[in-house]
A and B are shown apart, each in its own frame.
Chain A
Amino acid sequence: MAKITFITQNNIPVVVEGEAGSVMALAVENNIAGIDGDCGGVCSCATCHVHVAQEQFALVGEASEIEKDMLELDDDANEYSRLCCQIDITPALDGLVLTVAG
């Protein structure tokens, strides 16, 4: 079980809980604004872009090359960007704070 906080574009934090699966799927289940997950989580659509809190970036780790290539062309990307369909929920993510990009 991990509690994850999403901060949406109107700056309202939403705390949700998940056990397994991807962070994107958790966000979609909970109707987090700005996370669409159109491609279902195969890293094709870039509609699940989040910024990880700087001090927590090590928890989720670096993006893969394929994911970095997607982010490279996203105007809102920064060094703490991730596509959250590529982050699997584990207990280690408890307390993670993600800001929805865009």
Chain B
Amino acid sequence: MKKYQSSDPFKDARVTSGCAHMNDQDDPVTMILRLKDVRKTAHNWKTFQSGATPGRIVIPSEVNIRDTRQIPFEVDPPLHGSFRSLLDPWFKRPLEEHYQETLAQQVNALVDDVLKAESIDVVEDFALCLQSRALTLLLNTDVGEADTWISWGTHVFRSEDDPLDGDKAAILYDYIDEKIKASSPNPEGDLYSVLLAAEVEGKKLTHEEIKGIMILTFAGGRDTVINAVTNTISYFAQHPESLDRLRKEPEIIGRAIEELIRYFTPLTQMGRVVTQDTQVCEHAIKANSRVSLCWASANRDESVFESPNDVILDRKLNPHVSFGFSHHNCLGATHARQIMRVLIETLVAKVGSIDIIDFEENIENLGEFERKVGFRQLNINIHPR
């Protein structure tokens, strides 16, 4: 098997049943596996709610390590829409020229550094640094803050041994508390200051609401971006001809970004809590139980995608759900897409080939399934053009 490949462990269950079951800390989950069912469920926020106990729609559940509600992620309409109206313009800033130029400078500097190094671990030495520095742009804060975030490691919740490390979560929560307290309202400032100055439905945001937005901004874009960047590098290591092709056909970079994000699906699934007895693809689901929208399975649905297990860089029709679907689609998607674009453009301009030395995959255990979501380590030599 090729090193970059991401298998489709859900295939048999998706085709034969459409659903699967996994336990998670004694709060079981019915996983929804087909694209159409995933989309319908994501759209039906009344029956499949996000505004449950904070942490419960995340899999593995964070109920035991978090009390703060992540906003707008764990809020249902109509209040959800009011928060999105406030936040959407801020999270669209990656479309601005200055933002893109600064991001390109960051990525160029990082690629120049790794081209000089003997060998690097893509996860620690590249993806984590790239993600952290880019996040200073999204927050409109000092780039030096990235050093603190890099020191936290690859996942703000997950340590190497324990996927739900409460101590590690506390580092982030305490950091955000301090930052909010040290900030003053300023609509032109960083995200903390902008939120302190903002109103939603005619009311100032509370400390707890600002904290919930900031936790989402930090946590939602951490291991997802790191997985996307690391998997993309592993793909180009095995497909130098794709770097050549994108150099000759830059007009397909947009499609290539969507295809790599579909194929690797950096976030495997997201949960919902069921508000009333219902059914999904003829499976009965009880009120107050959990379902998951399994983006990773939906993105390989053979009834929708031709050759779903192949990376087709210029795939024209690609209705993937890697950024979710409907009301709760990913707030950070514009930032993530811009990171992917700048990364690919920089690799195309500067890199001739990449050799993989060794690697350790990051495998998720999901009941009967095991899914590779990325790498714990990916050691490479990277060579200039």
What is the interface of chain A, defined by CB distance below 8 A to chain B?
38-45, 64, 66, 69-70, 73
Contacts and interface: CB of A to CB of B under 8 A. Distances in A.
Contacts of B333: 38
B257 interface: yes
B43 A44 contact: no
B334 interface: yes
Contacts of A69: 36, 39, 304, 319
Nearest to A36: B92
Given A38-B337, A73-B43, 9 more contacts: A39-B318, A40-B337, A42-B315, A42-B316, A42-B319, A43-B319, A45-B323, A69-B304, A73-B325
A73 B326 contact: yes
B254 A41 contact: yes
A38 B326 CA distance: 13
Contacts of A38: 333-334, 337
B186 interface: no
Contacts, number: 46
B319 A64 contact: no
A42 B318 contact: yes
Contacts of A43: 317-319
Contacts of B325: 73
A85 to B, nearest CB: 10
Contacts of B329: 45
Contacts of A41: 254-255
Contact of A44 (B36, B318, B334): B318
B337 to A, nearest CB: 8
24 contacts: A38-B333, A38-B337, A39-B258, A40-B257, A40-B258, A40-B337, A41-B255, A42-B254, A42-B255, A42-B315, A42-B317, A43-B319, A44-B318, A44-B319, A44-B321, A44-B323, A64-B317, A66-B304, A66-B317, A69-B39, A69-B319, A70-B319, A73-B39, A73-B43
A73 B319 CA distance: 13
Contact of A66 (B40, B254, B319, B326): B319
B300 interface: no
Interface in B313-358: 315-321, 323, 325-326, 329, 333-334, 337
A73 B37 CA distance: 11
Interface residues of B, number: 23
Most B Cβ at <10 Å: residue of A38, A44, A45: A44
A22 to B, nearest CB: 10
A52 to B, nearest CB: 20
Contact of A40 (B43, B254, B319, B321): B254
Contacts of B40: 73
A70 B304 CA distance: 12
Nearest to B316: A42
A41 B39 CA distance: 19
A42 B255 CA distance: 7
Contacts of B36: 69
Contacts of A42: 254-255, 258, 315-320
A82 to B, nearest CB: 14
A39 B36 CA distance: 19
Most A Cβ at <10 Å: residue of B43, B317, B326: B317
Contacts of B316: 42
A40 B39 CA distance: 20
Nearest to B35: A69
Nearest to B304: A66
A44 B319 CA distance: 4
Contacts of A39: 258, 318
Most B Cβ at <10 Å: residue of A38, A39, A40, A45: A39
A36 to B, nearest CB: 8
Nearest to B255: A42
Contacts of B321: 44
A16 to B, nearest CB: 19
A69 B43 CA distance: 12
Contacts of A73: 39-40, 43, 325-326
Nearest to B318: A42
Nearest to B257: A40
